Amino acid sequence: MRFQFITDYRGSLSRSRICRLMGVTDRGLRAWKRRPPSLRQRRDLILLAHIREQHRLCLGSYGRPRMTEELKALGLQVGQRRVGRLMRQNNITVVRTRKFKRTTDSHHTFNIAPNLLKQDFSASAPNQKWAGDITYVWTREGWVYLAVILDLYSRRVIGWATGDRLKQDLALRALNMALALRKPPPGCIQHTDRGSQYCAHEYQKLLLKHQLLPSMSGKGNCFDNSAVESFFKSLKAELIWRRHWQTRRDIEIAIFEYINGFYNPRRRHSTLGSDESPNDFGKNH
C-alpha cells in the first residue's frame, strides 16, 4: 500500500526523500515496480475493460449501481464497492449537464380533460396508461420539436415524431405511431399536458375513435406528467446537450438511434423496480 501511495502521490518530492518519509527503501520501491501484476490486479484490468465498454454503450449515463447490474447481466460476479472503486480511480463518471426546461401553450379555447392519473404513474399491464408530451432541440438550422408517447407500464417509447413546427400534426403523428404499434383496448388512458396540440379537435377525435380516455395535467403542474419529463431529462443529458447540432436531419437520426438503439432496448430504468430496460421489462413481466 505504501509503494502504491508513493507512486500516486509523490508529487515534486524526489524518490529517495519520499522513501525516507514513508519508511521504505528505494531498492524495495524499484523491486515493487518490476513485480508482475497480481491476480487481483489482472482481474481488475479485465473488469475495467468491461466497465469502459459499458460506459461507452450506455452513453456515459450509468453510475455505480446501474453499471454493477449491467456487468452482472454479462455474467460477471462483481459488487458495487469494487465497481465504484475502479470507476473512481479511472475517472469514469456519469455525464450530466444542464437542467431541463419546458414550456406549454395552454392559452387556447379548447376543452380541458380531467386529470385521470392524479400522479399515479403505475400500471399493472401494458396499454392501461399512456403519457405524452413535446419538447424542443436547437440546431443551427433552427428548432426541432419532438413529441413522444410512453407506455407507463414499462416506460417504453411507443410513439414519437419530429418536426420543425410546433403544430397539431406533430402530436397526431406520434399518437398514430403508438396506435399502430399497440392497438390498445378501449379504456386506455392517454395523459398529456394542456397544450393546444392535445386539446385540438382532431387529436380528441382520434382518441374518441379508438376509445382512449383523455387525461390532462393541472395548470402549470409539471409533476402531473413527470414520467415523460424524466424521459426528456435523460434524453437531453445523455444525448442532446453533449454536442452542437448542425442540421435538423442530424438530430432526427440521433433521436431515432437513441430511442430504438439505447433507451428502449438497453437503458436500465430504476423506476421499474427490477432495474431492467423497457423492452426487457415488457417481455419478462
Residue 73 lies in a domain: yes
Range of the domain at 13: 1-90
Residue 246 lies in a domain: yes
What is the percent of the chain where pLDDT is above 90?
Answer: 38
pLDDT beyond 60 at 102? no
Q: Domain boundary residue among 90, 119, 140?
A: 90
Same domain, residue pair 192 and 65: no
User: Residue 256 has what pLDDT?
Assistant: 95
Q: Domain boundary residue among 90, 121, 149?
A: 90
- Kindly state the DSSP code that residue 53 receives in the 8-state scheme: H
Contact 79, 67 (CB under 8 A): no
Same domain, residue pair 4 and 136: no
R_g (Cα) of the chain, nearest Å: 25
Q: At what angle do helices 15-22 and 26-34 cross, to 10 degrees?
A: 100
pLDDT beyond 70 at 22? no
Same domain, residue pair 174 and 274: yes
pLDDT band at 4 (very low <50, low <70, confident <90, very high): low
Q: Domain boundary residue among 60, 90, 120?
A: 90
Q: At what angle do helices 64-73 and 80-89 cross, to 10 degrees?
A: 110
- Hey, what's the cell of 183? 392497438
Same domain, residue pair 163 and 272: yes
pLDDT band at 31 (very low <50, low <70, confident <90, very high): confident
pLDDT beyond 50 at 103? no
Lowest mean pLDDT among 68-72, 108-112, 238-242, 273-277: 108-112
Residue 95 lies in a domain: no
For the chain, the domain total comes to 2
Residue 114 lies in a domain: no
pLDDT beyond 50 at 278? yes
Q: Which of 233, 213, 222 is nearest to 106 (CA)?
A: 222
Same domain, residue pair 134 and 274: yes
Same domain, residue pair 157 and 23: no
> In which residue are the cell numbers 449537464 written?
97
- Partner residues linked to 143 by β-bridges: 138
Residue 117 lies in a domain: no
Which position has the higher pLDDT, 145 or 27?
A: 145
CATH code, domain with 255: 3.30.420.10
User: Residue 100 has what pLDDT?
Assistant: 43
pLDDT band at 275 (very low <50, low <70, confident <90, very high): confident
- Tens-place pLDDT, residues 126-173: 999 999 999 998 889 989 999 999 999 999 999 999 999 888 899 999
Same domain, residue pair 144 and 277: yes
Q: Which of 108, 201, 120 is nearest to 153 (CA)?
A: 120
> Average pLDDT of 246-274?
89
> Average pLDDT of 172-199?
94
User: Residue 208 has what pLDDT?
Assistant: 95
pLDDT band at 99 (very low <50, low <70, confident <90, very high): very low
Same domain, residue pair 1 and 59: yes
Same domain, residue pair 147 and 68: no
User: Residue 177 has what pLDDT?
Assistant: 97
Instruction: Specify the 3-state DSSP secondary structure of 31.
Output: helix
Residue 163 lies in a domain: yes
Residue 107 lies in a domain: no
Same domain, residue pair 268 and 181: yes
Same domain, residue pair 143 and 236: yes
User: Residue 1 has what pLDDT?
Assistant: 56
Same domain, residue pair 142 and 46: no
User: Residue 101 has what pLDDT?
Assistant: 43
User: Residue 184 has what pLDDT?
Assistant: 95
Q: Which of 138, 147, 149 is nearest to 170 (CA)?
A: 147
Residue 99 lies in a domain: no
Q: From CA 103, how far away is CA 8, in angstroms rounded? A: 49
The pTM of this model reads 0.68
